[in-house]
Structure 1
Amino acid sequence: MIMRAPINKVFTTGKMHVSKKYAGRWGGIRIRRPKTMMKRLSALALVAFFITLYLIFQTGRLQGKGGGRGIHRLNLAGIFQQPTRNPFDMKFKGKERMPPTIENLDRAPVSHTADFLLDYFLTMNVDGTQITWLRNTNTRGLLQQALDDYKLMMVEVDVVAENDKSTQNLTAVVAPSDTNVEYNLKLESFLTYISTYSNKGVKLNFDCLDAIKMALKSLKALEFDLHAPIWLAVDVLHGPNADIDKEPVDLQKAVDLVKEYYPPITLSLGWQTDWSPEPVETGYSWYHVISMAKFCVKFQQRASFSIRAVYAAESVRQIKWLLSLSSRFSAVLWLAEHDVVSVSAMVYFRKQTDKKKIFYILPTNFLDELKLTETVAQEDGDSKFDRTLWKPALLDEQSLAFLGKEQAVLEGDNSWLVSKDPHQPGSSGRTNIEVHGNVQFVESPKKSDSIAKFSLFIRCSGVNPPEPKDVHGVKLVILKDGTVTLSSQNLVKAGMYKTQTSAKLPESSCFAFKVIDSGEAQPILCTISIINCKNREEVSSDKSEVSLHLIAPYDDSRQMFFIAVTGGSTAEAIVVENLIIS
């Protein structure tokens, strides 16, 4: 039998010679060596291409096992594309979280999602006004602004349930500011940005159980990333002037969802409310707060009660009682878009309540004015003029008003000071309204035939509008020659009674006055006395003081309760000192 040599080998002189026809073996496959340089390069490129694809696929498959963030599908078109950078990564990545919080003192990051706000943010002054808020952060742009604001502590956002655009499953999303626009930010992404790039807390507002459930699932998915306080806000009861046909969210079902998915949060519980210029209810009743207390004994989460600020001053006793029931209770005051609340009402409310347990989602300028008012009151006591409670109204170019720390100077025929808040007997826990102060007529070198006068209005409409001649209310007039008059102006019902009473004092430059209004059932009482212009002490004389009284029923159709001061002339000014409303 003749044995043939393998086709790739030849035998010569007893030695094996390897043919140049093949390059060698790889994986049991014989690889033919290309004959030209171009063929060699093409072969190498093809091999490198398949190896690259293999490595990409393996990397994605392995990363996908760790939480689904790897490459699950091979996107050949995307291999050569420049990756799109997240705008939040570009702006905030690598920066320290802000603002500084208690977490900076921890040896290892821990969750503070159920912390009390003042404990978490370590405010220097233990006062709820120190917590700063941003409402309606419902767009990516506003979220970036919030993350960039170092002083901002709490971010508020509205959450709704929508069908996911990719999976068509129900998911929690940030409510679009425009209801005609589709959402572009999922709640999970929103929470990721907040927890990754800041130490800010979050208040999530809901109006249905579906949104609450989806949101709690998002919180559960991010439970190891979240660290700052989280509030879940929902209206669960009917409150003052609420539409009883509109059902609030079932609190028990909401609490059950919280317990099931993500218990370490604060429940921000509120009442459905409405407001009008003449509301049927002017505050939260005992029924409202007792009903809330009955619900809250069913769970152990920290609770903060949403209080509409327009009702706060009339509900002090009820709110104080509710907050006193548990150390885990607090309250947050808020304003609707068209609500109007007075600084004095907030000052009164804060004097009666625990400042550590009340937070304020109110306009920044209002809070600044509130803090200033309280500072002045604390420094100067109740016997000093508080300029923050008054606003000037100048109805012509010749009139002027200077508001100092203790005095106001008025000059011109149409210079006014009007209280920022109405003052009606029986409101805000006060049975009487008392207005007192001093007035000094400033002598001028200009000669004038007009007699300088000072006018104080109570139960007043204010001015601009209406015009001064159309102002209605009860008016006290003091002339420099000592003539004193108490009368009604433009009040219809007061015409049924004696409309004016007057008296005469000696001429003087300085007078003290006090007006007490106890409501329409009692006469308005006025006391006017001559005082020494230097030391402000009363002059001892039998004719240095007079008292007047006037009965003036309310005009229901037009009665308002502002307090206004006007006086002076183009030739003379008046100084009003220690003008106080109590």
Structure 2
Amino acid sequence: MAYAAGKRPQFVANPLNPVSYLQLFPRSTQKYIVCYMLFWVFVGLYFIYTGLAVYLFKMAYSSVFEVKPKQMHDILSYFPEVKDDATKITWSHATNSKKLLHDALNGPNRVMVLESDVLMKGAGTSQQELLPIMAHPPDTDSDLTFDEYLATVAASNSTVGIKLDFKAIEVVELCLQRVARVADRLPGPVIVNADILRGPGAPADKEPIDHRRFLRFHSELTPRALLSVGWTTGYSARDIGNRRYGWEHVVPMWELVTSMREKSSSASAPSAVTFPVRASLLSDSLAQLCWLVEACDAGGGATASLTVWMAKAPGEPQPEAAVLRRYRTELGSRRLFVDLPGLDVSSIAARNASLTSSPTPPAAAATRRLSNATLVPLQPADWTIVAFPPRVGVGLGRACVATRASRLSLQSRDTPSAPTALAPLRLVGDAQFGAGPMAPAA
């Protein structure tokens, strides 16, 4: 078709046919535009189909491949080889020097948790510095600083946890700030420990750490770490009366833990707590310590437990496997950690360990199951306590407590009806109410 000289009809694109716009460009350019558009179409289809395939795969196999993130407080989740038996966790005690740390991380024996002590360099002397080190009093110097300790553990190729035993409140906040900064790089669980209450046989010059500040630092800085709170203790071969954890020790500890959990928000409240207990004080403390663990166990992942440790006081006896078996039988395998160098833990795991059985209460009395929140009105002067077994030492006062393994019987002295209360007392466990003579069953 011929056109007039110098004139060509104006091209009008069809809006309904986007391809018609290609005619605006020379034929050689049109090829490149088509190739460019096809390239991006294929790229888009690739990502769409890939994303859809991944989504369908995860939906189909999520129960098999989903890996839940570990919590720093859940020690047993880091070591599946122990099969939920806390007594099989292995420890390196007093790992406070470069050599001891190197040997623990690279030695022939598997170490799962490093127990180390933290204080300020020169603590209590005129040469004290603002430098956290790894040392146990009376030592005030070390070749291993806290920063070096954390860096070495973070660079470890094996799964290993750390237990930080703080000896002074001045070092806690600074160290927990540094733990929080490297928490995601640490290969194992973290335990934050301090003695926050005075315990049996504690020397007068051995003051506990300020529990208010310690618990606040832990809740604010390392809420995912396992909280470990205990008592300052001592041992004397002559002081027989101070060889047990009494109700005067466990009830205040329960109150502190409960109060802390109530004040903390649900996001920052500690999920687990362990109570370090001295091995030589265990034999006559079964009722009290088992009650404490049960009362502080919130269920699910919020597990309470005991961690048994051993001191080296003159004349202090070695722990007996039979005593540890009783605790393991009562608490279960997940709630008893044993940091006792040289002890054969296989002797603890013997089945059918004997425990003092709970006798059946007299038929004349009514038995009620009481929860932690139960408040029962009682007048201490009008009631007598009959405990099962008789060795369980329970006293009326600010709190009455009974263990799951024993029953507490409250007997009216004068009248068959319960007197009017002046102040409510909290009862936990199996309580028995009745009138008339009630003697422990044989």
What is the TM-score of this pair, normalised by structure 1? 0.43
Distance 1:177 1:296, change over 3 A: closer
d(CA) in 2 for partners of 1:235, 1:271: 5
Say whether the 8 Å CA contact 2:244–2:284 is kept in structure 1.
yes
Residue matched to 2:117: 158
Map of 1:139-288 to 2, 5 A cutoff? 139-149=97-107, 151-162=110-121, 170-175=130-135, 179=139, 182-197=141-156, 198-244=158-204, 246-278=206-238, 279-288=240-249
Shift, 1:177, TM fit: 8.5
> What CA deviation, in whole Å up to 9, does each residue of 1:301-357 have, x standing for no partner?
221101111122211111111111223311101110143222222233333332210
Structure 2 counterpart of 1:319:
289
Point out 4+ residue stretches in structure 1 off by more than 3 angstroms. Answer: 105-112, 368-371
Question: Contact conserved, 2:76 with 2:82, CA < 8 A, in 1?
Answer: no
1:292 equivalenced with 2:253 (yes/no): yes
Q: Deviations over 1:417-455 (max 9, x none)?
A: xxxxxxxxxxxx698xxxxxxxxxxxxxxxxxxxxxxxx
Q: Distance in 2 between matches of 1:163 and 1:275?
A: 27
Structural mapping, 1:430-509, within 5 Å: none
Q: Comparing 243-252 with 305-314, which one deviates more in the overlay?
A: 243-252
Residue by residue, what CA displacement relative to the aligned partner does 1:156-207 show, whole Å, maximum 9, x if unpaired? 111112379xxx9613211179837x42222122112112213100001112
Query: Post-superposition shift, 1:369?
Result: 4.2
CA RMSD of aligned residues (A): 3.1
- Please give the alpha-carbon distance, in whole angstroms, between the structure 1 residues aligned to 2:286 and 2:68: 40
Contact 1:248 1:272 in 2 (8 A): yes
Which one of 346, 352, 355 corresponds to residue 324 of structure 2? 346
Matched with 2:76 is 118
8 Å Cα contact 2:70-2:77 kept in structure 1 = no
Code of the residue aligned with 2:105 in structure 1: it is: L
For the residues of structure 2 that align with 1:133 and 1:214, how far apart are their CA atoms? 25
Structure 1 SS opposite 2:118: strand
Mind listing any 5+ residue stretches in structure 2 that lack a counterpart? 1-63, 262-268, 356-388, 392-442
CA contact (8 A) 2:120 2:129 kept: no
Please say if residues 111 and 227 of structure 1, whose CA atoms lie closer than 8 Å, have aligned partners that are also in contact.
no
Which residue of structure 2 lines up, in the alignment, with residue 306 of structure 1?
276
In the TM superposition, residue 110 of structure 1 has moved relative to its aligned partner by 5.6
Cα shift readout 1:9-59 (whole Å, capped 9, x = no counterpart): xxxxxxxxxxxxxxxxxxxxxxxxxxxxxxxxxxxxxxxxxxxxxxxxxxx
Q: Is the 8 A contact 1:230 1:266 kept in 2?
A: yes
What SS does the aligned partner of 2:155 have? helix
Identity %: 25
For the residues of structure 1 that align with 2:273 and 2:71, how far apart are their CA atoms?
A: 15
Q: Distance in 1 between matches of 2:143 and 2:68?
A: 31
* Aligned residue pairs, count: 272
- Residue 144 of structure 1 and its aligned partner are, at CA, apart by 1.0
TM-score (norm 2): 0.55
Q: Secondary structure at the match of 2:280?
A: helix
Name the structure where strand makes up a greater proportion of residues.
1
Distance 1:351 1:113, change over 3 A: closer
**Partner in structure 2 of residue 337 of structure 1:** 312
Deviations 1:343-391 (A, max 9, x none): 22223333333221010011233434445xx26x78xx99xxxxxxxxx
CA distance in 2, matches of 1:123, 1:430: 41
Higher helix share: 2
User: Is the CA contact (8 Å cut-off) linking 1:313 and 1:348 kept in structure 2?
Assistant: no
Give the distance between the partners of 1:176 and 1:247, measured in 2 at CA.
15
Aligned to 2:86: 128
> Whose Rg is larger?
1
What is the letter of the counterpart of residue 289 of structure 1? V
* Cα shift readout 1:65-90 (whole Å, capped 9, x = no counterpart): xxxxxxxxxxxxxxxxxxxxxxxxxx
